[in-house]
Amino acid sequence: MLASVGLSDKINDYPVQLSGGEQQRAAIARALAMKPRIMLFDEPTSALDPELVDEVLAVMRALSQSGMTMLVVTHEMQFAEQAGDTVTVMDAGKIAEEGPVQEVFSRPQSLRAISLLKRKSLQASFIST
């Protein structure tokens, strides 16, 4: 499992010896060991330093490409657009818009989604199947 998230060289390390991104990837490996049909991610990169975000997103991208169904809450709009199939744009806890990723990102329908997507400062949930 550690090899699948790029951590095979860390097999003998303690959690305190891992970076935030490595700890997040180790958590993904632990979850994958259970052989889930779906993975849930709640802001998986929010607590990471910017330089560590890409390594976690790369693992998640690989999971998506392998066919893993994922439900992801994220502020990483570029990632949501690239890896998602369906997106739900949330604003203040309410659904502003929902639909196929390419449709929502290229032709948002609600005024709120248009405003939020223009600012690129929103929270989105997406499903990759």
The predicted model gives 97-105 an average pLDDT of 93
For residue 49, pLDDT over 90 is answered with: no
129 pLDDT band, cuts 50/70/90, is low
Put simply, whether the predicted model's pTM sits higher than 0.85 gets the answer no
Task: Give the least confident one: 32-36, 89-93, 114-118.
Answer: 114-118
Question: CA-to-CA distance for 89 and 122, rounded, in angstroms?
Answer: 7
The CATH number of 37-128 is 3.40.50.300
For residue 111, pLDDT over 70 is answered with: yes
Q: Which residues of 95-117 are buried (b: 16+ CB within 10 A; e: fewer)?
A: ebbbbebeebbeebebebbeebb
Question: CA-to-CA distance for 6 and 55, rounded, in angstroms?
Answer: 9
Residue ranges of domains in the chain: 37-128
For residue 87, pLDDT over 50 is answered with: yes
| CA contacts within 13 A on the Cβ side of 115 | 6
